Amino acid sequence: MIDIDRLCWIAKIELDSKEKEKIKKDIEKILEFFEVVKEMDVSIEMCKSLVFKNFPEKSLRKFEEEKIIINFPKREGKYLEVPIFLK
């Protein structure tokens, strides 16, 4: 049984009650479709960890500041404005 409220909270997705009902049914149907993979007889191994190479200096790219901050939804000068979270 999917706890759709908890799932929405973790995924940071807001749904109304009608949407929740529909999407819960969809998800349960899709997960049922996925059940077939459990038929395969496998020994579960740990995934190999990814090793990230350090990028060499030449690959670091400098951007024009204005081109980045033009996309801020709300700003004051060069500063990005976000809702208050420390109360």
By the criterion CB under 8 A, which residues form the site for another protein?
2, 4, 7-8, 10-15, 19, 23, 26-27, 29-31, 33-34, 36-40, 42-47, 52-53, 55-56, 58-59, 61, 63-64, 67-68, 70-74, 80, 82-85
Closest approach of Cβ 2 to another protein, in Å? 7
Residues in contact with 82: Cβ distance below 8 Å, sequence separation at least 6, in sequence order: 74
Residues in contact with 74: Cβ distance below 8 Å, sequence separation at least 6, in sequence order: 80, 81, 82
d(CA 15, CA 7): 11
Closest approach of Cβ 20 to another protein, in Å? 10
d(CA 9, CA 18): 17
Compare residues 21 and 26 and give the one whose CB is closer to another protein: 26
Closest approach of Cβ 78 to another protein, in Å? 13
